[in-house]
Structure 1
Amino acid sequence: MNHVEDHASQIVAMYEHIHSMESLTINAQTMATFDQFLGLLSNEHGSEFATQVLAQAKIEAVKPQIQHLFSMASSLYEQHWAQRLVASTAAQQLLIEEYPYFNHYQRATGLEINAVKSLAEQPIEHVLMVGSGALPLTSLALHQAGLQVDNLDIQQDDLLLGKQVCDALASGNEMNFIHNDICQQQNLAKYDVIWLAALVGDEQIKNSIITHLFEQMRPGAQLVVRTAFNLRTLLYPSVDESGLAPFQLKLKIQTYADNFHSILIAQKPI
């Protein structure tokens, strides 16, 4: 067995191990197992190696199940932390000192904000976060950057929990929370930038979302799509440059730090 086949077998074996657990609960043992699994999907693996691993029949057979598992685990993880923050009497301190990915969100969102501002011909003011979820840390970072933020999520329970988190971390914020399917949301021309979370929908749904956004957004508005490349496409339904058409791609950021998603920034032509 060569290195590519061995790596593919390790990924499948780890997925099957996680899948065989009686239940997914957020605890130290489960997180250690997921960290080990994520290590197999490191962005540090080169593109040629990743392409060969992804082409393995055993990987193609389980890719949809891995994406579903990761989406479910991510949702549970966000809910776990959201509930802790809402229940805390020192939510800001808890977030900064104990949430493992706090710095990641700060840096990633800061990178995106700087990018859209540098690409925009007019000041960025009003933005929409699609798939804000139970732990809307991106929305909070956008709010802290002085932007007017609307949050949209198809899952009402997560949306309401996310609102509680925002109230706990940014008392007096004026963010809006919209329960809807983004493909049913009509009044999108008011937004200067729309963020699309990495775990919103599968590839087919993402294509439908991008088509709807193009129809509804105003010319000149920007779309930020969080996606993945190489082995990380096993975790996130990915979007490539061609998948953004007829938007015009303005910037592509392929990050090699493991906790970072990749970023596509596009604009509706003026």
Structure 2
Amino acid sequence: MLHHLIQDDAGHRHCNHCPLFTENTSISQAQKLVDEIEHIYLDLATWTSLKPNSHVNALFTRLVQLCVLQYGQDVTNRVLRHPSIQALTGPLRAICSSGEYLLEWHWAEKLVSLCNEGVVDPLPQFVYYNNYVGLSRLELHALEGVGATLTRVVFLGSGPLPLSSILMAQQCSKIRHIDNIDNNRQAIAISAQLIQSLGMADRLKFHEVDAGKFAGYAEADVVIMGALVGDGQQKMEFLKRIGKQMKPGAVVMVRSAHSLRKLLYPSVDAFDVNACGFETLAEVHPHNDVVNSVLIASRR
């Protein structure tokens, strides 16, 4: 998930509800959004490194602000269908992915350092900790709502800072084991170091492997697919592959996106998921600061 919360310099959170617009103003509003999104994209694209700094952070924060506000459907459709937006959506998602990775890496190193200094619970110092807490609660409630077994979880695309896995393990005693999968050696190394420092290595395991080659899907009760694990088509191809390995009744939870949040992450359609051998059980579309939607489906 993109971690840049909606808050001003004073730390005040902003309302996500955008004022209602008449049809006469929707075209103007959509064009203003297109112009600002394009400006942010062009600014971010000029940076040789997206490592956290005040300017890069401000650009990502403003981008997320624009994407999580609630607009009328007409405004949303006009923005998403605009030729300029359609042309930049793929490159913009790639930029967001790079920025997210570098932010996670920066904080993973910092949290390991804090653990080494003797800080007992360093996680809340992560600037976007509360956003992660909200997402993990939403996902756990959704999984429990469909009656999913939660004993053994596989998390695909865990990244350098596996905070979702950490919080799920902390918030849900039913979870006994989480396999975290990433094909990036450095991400796995810093993740495992952090988990060791936190004293959670007995429940959270890390595997440097391509997700398609992981051998543990047959034992999994839940497989969580991170939002940045492939585009929409790649996600469906992957679901077909792992669906053949998963046991009947096991569930996948795919992070998705709705409305203008689709500019940040690819969306996933329930019909397409069902065509991969699953039965969609629930979809959750948050309208607060939590960016990702969640789709949960059961292996037939």
Normalised-by-shorter TM-score class: over 0.9
CA shift digits 1:146-177 (9 cap, x unpaired): 31111111112101111112122234533221
* SS at 2:160 equivalent: coil
Q: CA RMSD in A?
A: 1.8
Which residue does 2:288 correspond to in 1?
A: 257
Number of the residue aligned with 1:111? 138
Q: Following the alignment from structure 2 to structure 1, what is the Cα–Cα distance between the partners of residues 265 and 90? A: 10
Question: For residues 85 and 239 of structure 1, what CA distance do their matches in structure 2 show?
Answer: 33
- Are the structure 2 counterparts of residues 44 and 24 from structure 1 closer, same or farther at C-alpha, using a change threshold of 3 Å? same
Q: Which residue of 2 aligns with 1:139?
A: 165
Aligned partners of 1:128, 1:82: CA distance in 2, in Å?
20
Look up the SS of the partner of 2:217 in the other structure: coil
Residue 23, structure 1, aligned to residue 85, structure 2 = no
Match of 1:170 among 192, 199, 214: 199
Task: Mark the CA change 1:267 to 1:72 in structure 2 (over 3 Å): closer, same or farther.
Answer: same
Deviations 1:48-75 (A, max 9, x none): 3212100000100111100100000000
**Equivalent-residue separation in structure 2 for 1:171 and 1:108 (angstroms):** 20
Q: Distance in 2 between matches of 1:139 and 1:33?
A: 28
Q: Which runs of 5+ in 2 are unaligned?
A: 1-26
Match of 2:74 in 1: 48
Match of 1:242 in 2: 271
CA distance in 1, matches of 2:262, 2:235: 14
Q: How much has 1:241 moved relative to structure 2?
A: 1.2
2:36 maps to 1:5: no
**C-alpha distance in 2 between matches for 1:237 and 1:53:** 16
Measured at CA, do residues 172 and 66 of structure 1 come closer, stay the same or move farther in structure 2, by a change above 3 Å? closer
1:81 is aligned with what amino acid? W
Check if 1:73 corresponds to 2:112: no
Contact 1:140 1:170 in 2 (8 A): no
Pick closer, same or farther for the CA change 1:90–1:56 going to 2, 3 Å.
farther
Cα shift readout 1:194-232 (whole Å, capped 9, x = no counterpart): 111111112232122111121111100011111111111
2:298 partner letter: Q
Compared with structure 1, are the counterparts of its residues 172 and 213 closer, same or farther at alpha carbon in structure 2 (3 Å cutoff)?
A: closer
**1:87-98 pair list within 5 angstroms:** 87-88=113-114, 89-90=117-118, 93-96=121-124, 98=125
DSSP 3-state at the match of 1:2: helix
Q: Hey, which bits of structure 1, 4+ residues long, moved more than 4 A?
A: none
Q: CA deviation at 1:236?
A: 0.8
What amino acid sits opposite 1:102 in the alignment? Y
Matched-pair contact (CA < 8 Å) for 2:161–2:191 = yes
Note if contact 2:195-2:201 (Cα within 8 Å) is conserved in structure 1.
no
Query: 1:109–1:2: structure 2 CA closer, same or farther, 3 Å change rule?
Result: same
Letter in 2 for 1:258: D
Q: Which runs of 5+ in 1 are unaligned?
A: none
Q: Secondary structure at the match of 1:110?
A: helix
Distance across 2 between alignment mates of 1:216 and 1:170: 31
Distance 1:236 1:92, change over 3 A: farther
Identity of aligned residues (%): 29
Q: Identify the match of residue 153 of structure 2 among 119, 123, 127.
A: 127
Distance, in Å, in 1 between the alignment partners of 2:191 and 2:182 is 10
1:212-261 C-alpha deviation (Å, 9 max, x unpaired): 12111110001111111111111112212122123111111011113331
Distance 1:14 1:265 in 2: 33
Q: Secondary structure at the match of 1:41?
A: helix
Contact 2:29 2:75 in 1 (8 A): no
Q: For residues 94 and 176 of structure 1, what CA distance do their matches in structure 2 show?
A: 20
1:188 to 207, 217, 220: 217
Q: With structure 2 as the length reference, what TM-score do the two structures score?
A: 0.83
DSSP-derived class of the 1:218 partner: coil
